[in-house]
Amino acid sequence: MYVSDGGSEAYESIYPRKLVHRGGAVRVPEIVLSTILLLFGVSVQYAQEPSNSRSRITSEEDFRRAFKELSNWGRWGDNDQLGAANFITPEKRKQAIALAKEGVTVSLEHDVPQEKEVDTPSYLERTLLNVTPSGTADRYAYTGTYHSTIHSHMDAVDCHIMVDGKGYNGVSMEEIKSAGGCPRGDITALKDGVVTRGILFDATKLPGKATPQGWLEPGAAIHREDLEALEKLEHVRVSPGDVILLYTGRWKRRAALGPWPPATGYAGYHADVAYFLKERSVSFTGTDGPNDVIPSGFDLPQSLSYPYHRLALAALGVDLFDNLDYERAVEQARRLNRYEFLFVAAPLRIDKGTGSPLNPLAIF
């Protein structure tokens, strides 16, 4: 029985001070009663503790504590290259496939940028080659990295993000340099694809979070309590092996107001969501931005920027999908009033690669 107060009144409502005895009422000795009350108060305080003392991340000290508390290093062996993708079992895939009830497929990739913009420092150069009566071809080349705040892509579980020179499961920067790429945990570890249950969290449903136009402003943070609130609003519950996808209306805002400099910021996950990932055994996360809320909301050295990325990838081994586009998916989810679906994605098979552009699908 849960009691909200460890005081004597609460105690007496369950255990009266008097005991019935043949010779009449007998008073419990005060020293015994005091001892019982003390023990009772301690037990009640302990019962209350989980709900009132959830770990917060508001400083570098908190971040480093969280990194140690959340670490999955060695959980699946010292040579593991899948990280939290290990939670996706054959049974989980079969359950996810059953969610494709309407047979409607929706792309979750944003169009690949082919021009430089204020928010697009690197873009895809598409060059049309020789055109002949029998056909033609084109050549694709990025002017910089696809790892950015604009391209839809997937991070490899290892190498792309490190803390103090080490990535997930201890892969070191020295190993990466020596190998000329990611020696283990590279993007080919997921060459057989990701097939699991997807949950689309529509953050514009949260009271007071969204603008009247239907998007979150840059810098709006989504905390783990927000995800728990969205579970109730959308009648879902995150389970092991899921991919959770956060809709903030980023592309809707861009279409209405135009691109903005990355320094302005993005709505996204606060670093404390990493605790939610650990508690629920989440395999992947994604947003329509760079996953992290920018700015992070607390001071960190440059080497620890993107704290959510660092906790998810380097500590937990949770792969990330950055800059996806959910505009059509959220329309479908709202129409069906169903925010879970079959999620399918597969990266390019690039040996030693630290990530991959890709076009994930939501299948309702």
pLDDT in tens, 146-155: 999 999 999 9
CA angle centred on 121, ends 116 and 123, rounded to 5°: 60
Q: Quick: pLDDT tens for 261-300.
A: 999 999 999 999 999 999 999 999 999 999 999 999 999 9
Q: Which residues are 246's β-sheet partners? A: 201, 287
51 falls in which pLDDT band (50, 70, 90)? Answer: very low
46: confidence class by pLDDT, cuts 50, 70, 90: very low
Residues 224-239, mean pLDDT to the nearest whole number: 98
Check pLDDT > 90 for residue 4: no
CA distance 53 to 66: 14
Report the C-alpha gap between 96 and 153 in whole angstroms. Answer: 22
- Stretch 249-262: mean pLDDT: 98
Task: Return the SS3 of 39.
Answer: helix
Q: Which residue has the tokens 């500590």?
A: 315
The separation between CA 186 and the C-alpha centre of its own chain, rounded to angstroms, equals 20
- The string of pLDDT tens digits covering residues 326-355 is 999 999 999 999 999 999 999 999 999 999
Q: Tell me, what's the pLDDT at 53? A: 65
Question: pLDDT tens digit string along 310-328?
Answer: 999 999 999 999 999 999 9
Question: What is residue 200's three-state secondary structure?
Answer: strand
Decide: 171 and 313 in contact? Cβ < 8 Å: no
pLDDT (average), residues 70-91: 98
**Report field, pTM of the whole predicted structure over 0.75:** yes
* CA dihedral over 141, 146, 151, 154, signed as positive or negative: positive
Q: Which residue has the tokens 């939501």?
A: 362
